[in-house]
Amino acid sequence: MSESWGPAIVEAIRRISGTAEDTILPLHEPEFAGNEWQYVKECIDTGWVSSVGSYVNRFEKDLAEYTGSGYAIAVVNGTAALHISLLLAGVEAGDEVIVPSLSFVATANAVAYCQATPHFADVEPKTLGLDVERLDAHLAEIGAVGSDGSLYNQRTGKRIRAIVPMHTFGHPVDMESLLELGERYRLAIIEDAAESLGSLYKGRATGTFGLFGILSFNGNKVLTCGGGGAILTQDKELAAKAKHLTTTAKVPHAWAFDHDQVGYNYRMPNINAALGCAQLERVPLFLERKRGLAFEYEQFFRTVPGISFVTEPEYTRSNYWLNTILLDRSDMVVRDRILQDTNAAGILTRPVWTPLHLLPMYAACPSMDMYVTIEMQGRIINLPSGTSLAREK
């Protein structure tokens, strides 16, 4: 391989986005063109910026309605949402939790916060999410059901308590077979839907299949609150527990400060929720534009031999959070050349995360054979995907 695909990709993205040579195209920048200013200003004008205020309740209600989840609890970020969901799913110190190695580090960190150990699983090339079939075979090989009915890792002697599927770049995991696997082994499913707000699997929103699902509203996600996250659940009792645990476990009272367990100060401030309410009003429009952008990318990459564009898996509708191309063959040199060329031209493409099982703090954790994840590291490039790129021109 002598020539880089870089210049052709730069030219195509300039054409698709209708931007000039000197415009920087971030990976995913936020857009505030709705009621954001009005709602945030109202918080400031009235003084309700912090832990009390009507926007938090409204945001939770709007999120539950939009996703079809029974309940939504707004918190400070997606990582905190994962932490609390794992605790409430019964993850205890010494347990193992199955997580994909191909994910943002928060997925594994939240497990570590519970003094549990991530047990890394490989992904499959079509969805870039957990390979359920191979995970099933792996669990059959290393696992044994104990007298308490729980699944144990025979190699470490530890209980495996939960599985955290992650809907990579917005593309849904094969949830049907995963739910079946979870049921068979009595493993709680907690969906890391941080990237997939608005994505559907068989017509139903990601984040609403597991015992819990979590969302992130970080600055680069489809919807941003500046920072923020949410816990989704269909279970009223678990929702109440999540609310309690994320609000310092304070016992409701007009003036007394009473707390009945070690709680967390994870509640989303009202000013962030105000931003979230305004952003959520525009999510349908964002998704439509992002879909249009993905379609244009797909059209272009059809003409490029050696590279394919990742489209939504069968039975799903993806939010196309981050548009993704795959090199036909894993090659870090070719990959880095494209990254170099595009970034030098102001088009801020990115590689995938370093696989989590290779990070120093997780290198000794249990894992299955990771050949797809390793291969994907040398094949994946994310393209600028912000909503403004696809604005009507």
Binding residues vs ligand PLP (CB under 6 A): 77-79, 103-104, 106-107, 166, 192, 194-195, 216, 218, 229
* Residues listed for the chain: 393
Give residue 70's identity as a one-letter amino acid code.
G
143 versus 226: smaller Cβ distance to ligand PLP? 226
Q: Of the two residues 6 and 78, which places its CB atom closer to ligand PLP in the complex?
A: 78
Distance of CA 228 to the CA centre of its chain: 13
Cα gap 63→80, rounded to integer Å: 17
Residue 72 Cβ vs ligand PLP, minimum distance, rounded to whole Å: 15
CB of 191 to ligand PLP, least distance (A): 10
Smallest distance from the beta carbon of 177 to ligand PLP, in angstroms? 21
CB of 265 to ligand PLP, least distance (A): 15
Nearer to ligand PLP by Cβ, of 229 and 366: the residue is 229
Shortest distance, position 76 Cβ to ligand PLP, whole Å: 8
Which residue of the chain is nearest ligand PLP when measured via CB?
Answer: 78
Return the number of the residue (103 or 316) whose C-beta is nearest ligand PLP.
103
Spell 354-387 as b/e; 16+ CB within 10 A means b: ebbbbeeebeebbbbebebbbbbbbbbbbbbbbb
- Residue (104 or 286) nearer to ligand PLP, CB: 104
How far is residue 264's CA from residue 72's CA, in Å, rounded to a whole number?
17
The beta strands (E) that lie in the chain are given as 71-75, 96-100, 117-121, 143-145, 151-153, 159-163, 188-192, 200-201, 204-205, 212-216, 229-233, 307-309, 316-317, 323-327, 350-351, 380-383
Q: For residues 310 and 171, is the Cβ–Cβ distance under 8 A?
A: yes
Closer of 78 and 276 to ligand PLP (Cβ): 78
CB of 292 to ligand PLP, least distance (A): 23
* In contact, 172 and 129? CB cutoff 8 Å: yes
Q: Which of 305, 203, 230, 179 is nearest to 77 (CA)?
A: 230
